[in-house]
Amino acid sequence: QVQLHESGPGLVRPSQTLSLTCTVSGVSISSGSYYWSWIRQSAEKGLEWIGRIYTSGSTTYNPSLKSRVTISTDTSKNQFSLKLTSVTAADTAVYYCARAILGALDCWGLGTLVTVSS
């Protein structure tokens, strides 16, 4: 059974870097034809795709966030991570990690609320 779990600080100061990790169990993130993705959800913007990393390590980011986003993997820990720099209150959201195959997000983490505030 595939499970994903997000972890990281729930509060980030404005202008700082948001860092989250997704721990995956039940499947290796370095095998198969999967995209490991980050999505966020806020009342203002709804569901917003942030970016993804393929099992090969190639990344694709939402153009609106591309200048601030980095997604990477740690295959030794079966984890992938999100870094979002220069955050503002507009980055406050529930952040989800998810697995995708052929464009469909078939397995999601529970989500973690990140608040940007001083």
Q: Any contact of residue 46 with another protein (CB under 8 A)?
A: yes
Contact assessment for residue 69 and residue 88, using Cβ atoms and an 8 Å cutoff: no
What residue has token string 């955050």?
87
Picking from 33, 21, 32, 34, the residue whose alpha carbon sits closest to that of residue 79 is 21
Among 42, 60, 70, 85, binds another protein (CB under 8 A): 60
Q: Any contact of residue 62 with another protein (CB under 8 A)?
A: yes
d(CA 68, CA 62): 10
Q: Any contact of residue 48 with another protein (CB under 8 A)?
A: yes
Compute the chain's Rg from CA coordinates. 13
The interface mask with another protein, positions 82-111, x = CB under 8 A, is --------------x-x---xxxxx-xxxx
Residues within the interface to another protein (CB under 8 A): 37, 46-49, 52, 60-64, 96, 98, 102-106, 108-111
